Structure 1
Amino acid sequence: NGYYILVESQNIKVIPDAMFIGLMVWTSGSMVHLLQRHRLKLQHVHTTSHRDRCPPETRATHTVLMLMVTFVVFYMLNSIFTLCITAVADARVWLMRTTDVLISCFPTVCPFVLILRAPRTPRFCS
């Protein structure tokens, strides 16, 4: 009976998380679609001298996708480890430390992704 209550409470906690992950994936997909449409509309504006470089819309699309995938991967890993902690009665210290590290991974990695994807980043940074 105690196990059923634990599983029931975990299912209730997962519903808002799943909704917000779905919302984030949907908004990221909408942004990618909007950027692709914009790129196609302005395709004739890009001159031949810019053809060797990646268009700004494509760079922005790649950045949005990289940020979304990074967030989802770190979030899913954290959710798996958190589920393991709640399922195991005697959770190991390393398991709890791993969730602490995973919680801080996206806010730590995100600025570096944005800096490295910036179009005017000096060569020594990238």
Structure 2
Amino acid sequence: MPSKDLAIGIMFLLQTVIGIHGNFSLLYYYFFLHHMESRMKPIDLILKHLLIANSLVILTNGLSRTMVAFGLKYLFNELICKLNWFMLRVGRAMSISTMCFLSFFQNITLSPMNSCWNNLKIKDSKYIDFSMSLCWLLHLGLNCIFPLYVLHALGNSESKNITRKRHLGICSVVDYGTTMGSVYIALVVSPEISFIMLTVWASGSMILVLYRHKAQVKHIYSSKVSSRSPESRATKSILLLVSTFVSFYTISSIFNIYTALFYNLSWWLMSISDLTSVCFPMISPFLIMSQNSSISVFQFVWIRNTKSSIIKNI
């Protein structure tokens, strides 16, 4: 195995293991919360959908690229390639859409009573589930066309007549020149960039609302504890999650534009592009944990009880 394949394979493996551990741990927490309580908070419902979308991206992109790097490409046939590409596109689109939805939801929730957003405040969590389910159905429908152009990278009898293909790891995509690239940018990349820009705008509005509120109640907090005020903690949480989301997905979208427009892409460029696309799904659950003390307490108790039960069985 070439050293470059080994290095990339180890990086994808680390991303996959860390990302699956973080997302599945939080999903377990939310399912536990749903089982113990009759109703979940609206923000928890949104985060649950974000974690599911992140897990799809990691399992399709991270796991498949790990297997390819370690020489297991022969395990994939054309059907698996199509399914893998389809689930990757849906997971990525849902991850970006959910972050945008989360930013607007927080913005509307924090808006003052006299704001124009006040009438849009969601008071029942069932509307969250309906909105997110509708979003899943929308992305499932929009992305169903792209697997039609996906082929197995090793080639088969059905793809022998294809003269021009783009190799994308385990799969290849039929290349129809700049026309197909333009369609891909219009239907996939442009909406992604639009959602990212809307997320930035909503988060910026949120921070402005929190800053104004902090200025209004400044006399309540002493200078010693002002840095630990609820407004400061909320602002830091928003900035941390959104800046990470915008940074990684903007870079990933730029790589997608380059991939769509140019032919004969280098192996290193494709590897860096795939590594970047998995970064936010891998990091985001740990950012959520770091800003939610109840999750940290839950994990500590769960780990302690698990260790206790293991010791008792020994």
TM above 0.5: yes
- Give the equivalent residue in structure 2 for 1:31: 206
Deviation at residue 6 of structure 1 after TM alignment: 4.5
Could you tell me the percent identity over the aligned residues?
34
Deviation at residue 118 of structure 1 after TM alignment: 4.9
- Give the equivalent residue in structure 2 for 1:42: 217
Counterpart of 2:256 (choices 82, 96, 107) is 82
Q: Which amino acid aligns with 1:103?
A: S
Larger gyration radius, structure 1 or structure 2: 2
Is 1:113 aligned with 2:263?
no
Q: Which amino acid aligns with 1:18?
A: I
Is 1:68 aligned with 2:237?
no
TM-score by length of 2: 0.33
- Cα 1:80–1:20 change in 2 (3 A) is same
Query: SS in structure 2 opposite 1:32?
Result: helix
Contact 2:252/2:277 (<8 A) preserved: yes
Query: RMSD of the TM alignment (CA)?
Result: 3.0
Distance 2:280 2:258 in 1: 21
Q: Deviations over 1:53-73 (max 9, x none)?
A: 432211211221122211111
Q: Deviations over 1:24-72 (max 9, x none)?
A: 1111012111211221222222246635x43221121122112221111
Q: Deviations over 1:64-113 (max 9, x none)?
A: 11222111110111112222322332233433332322222112212222
- Give the equivalent residue in structure 2 for 1:20: 195
Is 1:102 aligned with 2:287?
no
TM-score by length of 1: 0.72
Deviation at residue 119 of structure 1 after TM alignment: 6.7
Q: Which moved more, 1:109-118 or 1:17-26?
A: 109-118
**Structure 2 residues not aligned, in runs of 5+:** 1-176, 298-314
Distance 2:190 2:281 in 1: 23
Distance 2:196 2:182 in 1: 20
Q: Which amino acid aligns with 2:238?
A: V
- Cα 1:21–1:49 change in 2 (3 A) is closer
Contact 2:211/2:231 (<8 A) preserved: yes
Distance 2:274 2:250 in 1: 14
Q: Which moved more, 1:69-78 or 1:33-42?
A: 33-42
Q: Which amino acid aligns with 2:278?
A: S
Q: Which moved more, 1:55-64 or 1:10-19?
A: 10-19
Query: SS in structure 1 opposite 2:228?
Result: coil
Q: Which moved more, 1:9-18 or 1:96-105?
A: 9-18
- Cα 1:49–1:66 change in 2 (3 A) is closer
- Give the equivalent residue in structure 2 for 1:56: 230
Contact 2:181/2:260 (<8 A) preserved: no
Q: How many residues align?
A: 120
